[in-house]
Structure 1
Amino acid sequence: MMSDEYLVECKISDDDDDSDDEEYVQKIQPSLTPPPQFSSISQASFTNESRDPYGVNNHLKVDFSDVLAEPASTRSYDRVWVYSGIGFESARIWSYRCLTAVCAVPVSCLSGCLFALLACLHIWCVMPCVQVCHTCLPCVRSLWMSLVNIFLMPLCESAARCCSGVYILLSKE
């Protein structure tokens, strides 16, 4: 079922010049971006709005005052403080930009390959093994319960009967 947000909006207006009261329909041009379910990379990922929509990297939001702060008792010159802040922000921003220009594409390709490998292993190896275990588990369970009842249960019962006659009294001397 299609959501209402993908339907084209039509406005119906009456034209006063027309005596027949005919309705004119104006169609609003639909946006050129495809709906999110049809596009793996949406238009919002190219804007600055939602690069971290789920807040995965909130711990990396560092300001100058988070790293460097002067107490009230010791203060440097105001210009030194301002230029230090400018230097910190500039170095942080430009270092990040240079590092991402060099590393972003290879790391994203490696991450994509890693996740593709994990998905392939999960789909073609892990899930078939899990299904085989679920299929064979009732037989294995009944065999395991028989072995436990034959060998382990008598040992545990005899140890429990031997230890049931032991009493421990704690007293302060």
Structure 2
Amino acid sequence: MMAEEHRDLEAQIVNDIHFKEIDLVNRDPKNINEDIVKVDFEDVIAEPVGTYSFDGVWKVSYTTFTVSKYWCYRLLSTLLGVPLALLWGFLFACISFCHIWAVVPCIKSYLIEIQCISHIYSLCIRTFCNPLFAAMGQVCSSIKMVLRKET
């Protein structure tokens, strides 16, 4: 029964990866780059009142900036998008592998091993320190302080 459930889960994961609908309209559904790389002409070039260029220069500059940014991004994503996606996929797969197969087992192992040590440590504290601190508390409990204001 478990093997059958495992196969069903594995088939579902494969189907999710291969047949997942890709949203071509909203390509940043989690708003990762909403404010980071959203740069328009007005965010970079702005002329304060009293220092305006010719209207034609302003319009051509706006068009040049916008079109060059658009096509440069498209060219770079065409040339480097797939290789970088492969690189990032490989990197995050390695990180996931290390986390699943090394980090979490090391932490779990440490917690199991430290539990034994913590029992021994707490036993030593209760055996040696508690009586010492109780005795020191009784000695110090008879100390009285009086504050006087002298004029």
TM-score in terms of structure 2 length:
0.67
Per-residue Cα deviation, 1:135-161 (whole angstroms, up to 9, x for no partner) = 23321112333566658xx7xx98xx9
Alignment of 1:3-82 (within 5 A): 38-40=15-17, 42-45=20-23, 47=24, 49-58=25-34, 59-82=36-59
Equivalent in the alignment of 1:85: 62
Q: Which residue of 2 aligns with 1:130?
A: 107
**How many angstroms does 1:36 deviate by?**
9.9
* C-alpha distance 36-90 of structure 1, shift in aligned 2 (>3 A): farther
CA–CA distance in 1 between the matches of 2:102 and 2:110?
Answer: 12
* Match among 108, 120, 127 for residue 85 of structure 2: 108
Please give the alpha-carbon distance, in whole angstroms, between the structure 1 residues aligned to 2:61 and 2:114.
66
Distance 2:110 2:73 in 1: 48
Give the secondary-structure state (helix, strand or coil) at the position aligned to 1:60.
coil
Tell me the equivalent position of 1:15: none
Is the Cα contact below 8 Å between 1:64 and 1:88 reproduced in 2?
A: yes
Amino acid of the structure 1 residue aligned with 2:21: Q
Question: 1:137 is aligned with what amino acid?
Answer: I
Classify the secondary structure of the residue corresponding to 1:44: coil
1:100 positional shift: 1.3
The total of aligned residue pairs comes to: 129
Deviation for aligned residue 1:71: 1.3
Structure 2 spans left out of the alignment, 5+ residues? 1-11, 144-151
Query: Do the aligned partners of residues 82 and 39 (structure 1) sit closer, same or farther apart at CA in structure 2, a change above 3 Å counting?
Result: same
Relative to its length, the structure with more helix (as a share) is: 2
The answer for the alignment partner of 1:119 in structure 2 is 96
Percent identical: 32
Deviation, structure 1 residue 74: 1.4
Which secondary structure does the structure 1 equivalent of 2:17 belong to? coil
TM-score when scaled to structure 1? Answer: 0.59
State how far apart, in whole Å, the 2-side matches of 1:122 and 1:36 are. 20
**Is the 1:44–1:50 Cα contact (8 Å) retained in structure 2?**
no
Supply the RMSD in Å over aligned alpha carbons.
Answer: 3.4
Distance in 2 separating the partners of 1:136 and 1:143: 12
**Higher RCO (Cα < 8 Å, 6 or more apart):** 2
User: Which has the larger strand fraction?
Assistant: 1
The amino acid that maps onto 1:50 is N
- Whether the 8 Å CA contact 1:64–1:89 is kept in 2: the answer is yes
